[in-house]
Amino acid sequence: MPTVLEFCREHGVTAAELRAIGSFETVEVTEYDQAAHAWKASRKLAGGCEILSLVGNVSERGHQPVFHAHVTVMRDTDNGIQVLGGHLVSARVFAVEIVIETFEALVLRRDVDSGTGLALWSSLAEIRASSVSPGLTTPTPAGSSPTAPTWRDVAAASPKPAPPTADEPDDGLLAPGDILIHPTFGRCDVERIEGGNEFAHVRLKNARLVRLSLEVIKVVTSGVEQGRRVFRARVNG
């Protein structure tokens, strides 16, 4: 899908998860022949079809973003409902809503795997804070306040966690209001924890908001500073 790749190139997306709902005017899919180590001839549906499932990801190959997705679609024909799925080759959109969830602190690379012949994920690395692309700006909807509170405002107004006492040991988990010392980004303010402590949204010194995977980094308690817990992070592996 060229439009997705153009968006990723424009905004410097190097690692992301993608999902979508909606409908296509046309869609082309294929499957991989595991014995021959080659893609089979693609199949194309035309005349409109609904997306039942579309999931994929964005990574990097040869310093360029690449898009990989699988799709299942259906359409109503004279012979009944037809369902087709596989590796997404191309599609012409009728109306589609796409979510691209980026991992801005990471670059995910692909290379050809000798065992399968496929271009698979081969390495995961951090990127420098200075190379993180500027965040996407969202226009203020008509009638809404241009000074709506940000996550940083919410964190600043929220009660800060009290330092652990001898009777209340530190659980070692990040929480909003903590300070994180990151090997690449330096001192960061933790603003939000997502999922079951899977991701941390942190604010950098330059006010950039970055989403970190806590499965990739390990955090250890480093002390308390003006009533705020301090953690240090290092990349696992």
Q: What is the CATH number of the domain that holds 91?
A: 3.30.1330.80
Q: Count other C-beta atoms under 10 Å from residue 6's C-beta.
A: 11
In a domain, residue 137? The reply is no
Q: Could you say which DSSP state residue 148 is in?
A: P
Query: Taking a C-beta distance cutoff of 8 angstroms, is the pair 8, 65 a contact?
Result: yes
| Reported confidence tier of residue 218, pLDDT bands at 50, 70, 90 | confident
* Selection from 6-15, 28-37, 143-152 with the highest mean pLDDT: 28-37
3-state DSSP assignment of residue 201: strand
Residue 185 belongs to domain spanning: 151-159+169-235
Bigger pLDDT: 93 vs 173: 93
Query: Taking a C-beta distance cutoff of 8 angstroms, is the pair 52, 83 a contact?
Result: yes
3-state DSSP assignment of residue 4: helix
| Reported confidence tier of residue 156, pLDDT bands at 50, 70, 90 | low
Which candidate, 190, 186, 182, 188, places its Cα nearest to that of 154? 190
In a domain, residue 200? The reply is yes
Asked whether residue 123 falls in the same domain as residue 155, the answer is no
Bigger pLDDT: 147 vs 233: 233
- The whole-angstrom separation of Cα 61 and Cα 112 is 10
Q: Could you say which DSSP state residue 170 is in?
A: -
- Tally the C-alpha atoms within 13 A of residue 194's C-alpha that lie toward its C-beta: 12
In a domain, residue 228? The reply is yes
Asked whether residue 44 falls in the same domain as residue 90, the answer is yes
pLDDT at 162 exceeding the cut of 80 = no
Instruction: Report the amino acid identity of residue 6.
Output: E
Instruction: Report the number of distinct structural domains present in the chain.
Output: 2
- The mean of the pLDDT values for the chain is 81
pLDDT in tens, 92-112: 999 999 999 988 778 889 999
Bigger pLDDT: 154 vs 68: 68
Asked whether residue 65 falls in the same domain as residue 105, the answer is yes
Q: Which pLDDT score, from 0 to 100, does residue 170 have?
A: 52
- The whole-angstrom separation of Cα 222 and Cα 212 is 19
